[in-house]
């Protein structure tokens, strides 16, 4: 089912509805803080959520975009695994403060993927010190969600649409700082030329052939005004976009102006493709 959803291109009327809903929701007082006053970010979130069959509201409350990378709640990850037809089993041992999560794929029922999260693991990871009361007061609940997300990333990443981490887990991943030689500032790592070319190729397949249109699409995808070319993306953003090419092309089409016709790639006078948005 997920594959069918991801491949379906929304109609012009659906895109208009999403844009209208995003503008209204951005003015609300009860939406997550990261979306207040940011209809473009809301549009990206609901576009991503629609690929997974989520309602607009579910997309806002169960998907968070952190530093350009979409994340899902642990509950949503478990739901996506089961929606894809895989079996998810949870085994809890309160005496040992241990949880084992098992996934059996529907296309490989003879093999089990498993992940164990227990008190020893939590102590080694510094969870009791870093995460505070949650791990001290309800360790079995917290370990259950960690076991589920860990096994899901290994067993069926395609069911997670490139958003296999929870916001809490993303905090555990250390940043890889890159320092500029001329200034003592930390900047996000840049994508490779190959990644930039792959994203530009995806935009051309969706009819994006002009630099102005490419800048508009990139800004709507990332929610950042300063992004005008693919090499303005961060490495995290590029890896996220390329983790699911089908979803990326759908998100690109959702960012295009309503009723905009798709054009074939333009040819230069020498028969070569016109320059794209890669620097």
List pLDDT tens digits, range 183-204: 444 456 788 888 899 899 999 9
Residue 78: both structure tokens together: 């478990």
Residue whose tokens read 């290994």:
154
pLDDT of residue 108: 93
pLDDT of residue 12: 75
What's the CA gap between 133 and 127, in Å, rounded?
10
How far CA 195 is from CA of 64, 74, 118, 230, in Å, comes to 24, 29, 38, 9
pLDDT of residue 2: 40
Residue 87, classed as helix, strand or coil, is strand
What's the CA gap between 67 and 29, in Å, rounded?
23
Residues paired with 115 in a beta bridge: 101
- Pair type for strands 178-179 and 113-118: unpaired
Sign, CA dihedral 224-226-230-231, equals negative
What's the CA gap between 183 and 162, in Å, rounded?
34
Low-confidence residues in the chain, pLDDT < 50: 1-7, 176, 178-186, 260-276, 278-279
Residue 229, classed as helix, strand or coil, is coil
pTM of the model: 0.55
Residue 224: both structure tokens together: 């950042």
What burial letters (b/e) apply to 133-153, b meaning 16+ CB within 10 Å?
eebeeebeebbbbbbbbbbbb
pLDDT of residue 183: 44
How far CA 97 is from CA of 92, 137, 256, in Å, comes to 8, 12, 50
What's the CA gap between 144 and 159, in Å, rounded?
19
Residue 248: both structure tokens together: 């990326």
Residues paired with 88 in a beta bridge: 103
What's the CA gap between 139 and 127, in Å, rounded?
10
pLDDT of residue 9: 63
């Amino acid at each position: 089912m997920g594959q069918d959803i991801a491949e379906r291109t929304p109609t012009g009327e659906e895109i208009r509805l999403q844009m209208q809903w995003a503008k209204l929701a951005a003015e609300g007082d009860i939406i997550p803080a990261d979306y207040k006053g940011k209809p473009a970010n809301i549009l990206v979130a609901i576009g991503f959520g629609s690929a997974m069959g989520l309602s607009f509201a579910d997309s806002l409350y169960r998907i968070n975009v952190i530093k350009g990378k979409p994340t899902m709640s642990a509950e949503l990850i478990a739901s996506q695994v089961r929606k894809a037809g895989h079996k998810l089993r949870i085994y809890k041992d309160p005496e040992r403060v241990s949880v084992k999560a098992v996934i059996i794929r529907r296309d490989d029922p003879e093999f089990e993927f498993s992940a164990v999260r227990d008190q020893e693991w939590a102590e080694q990871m510094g969870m009791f010190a870093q995460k505070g009361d949650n791990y001290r007061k309800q360790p079995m609940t917290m370990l259950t969600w960690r076991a589920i997300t860990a096994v899901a990333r290994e067993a069926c990443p395609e069911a997670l649409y490139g958003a296999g981490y929870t916001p809490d887990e993303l905090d555990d991943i250390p940043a890889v700082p890159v320092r500029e030689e001329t200034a003592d500032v930390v900047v996000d790592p840049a994508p490779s030329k190959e990644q930039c070319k792959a994203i530009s190729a995806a935009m051309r397949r969706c009819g994006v052939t002009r630099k102005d249109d490419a800048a508009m699409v990139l800004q709507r995808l990332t929610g950042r005004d300063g992004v005008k070319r693919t090499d303005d993306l961060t490495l995290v953003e590029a890896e996220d976009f390329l983790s699911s090419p089908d979803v990326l092309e759908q998100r690109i089409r959702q960012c295009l102006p309503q009723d905009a016709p798709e054009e074939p790639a333009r040819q230069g006078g020498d028969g070569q493709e016109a320059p794209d948005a890669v620097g």
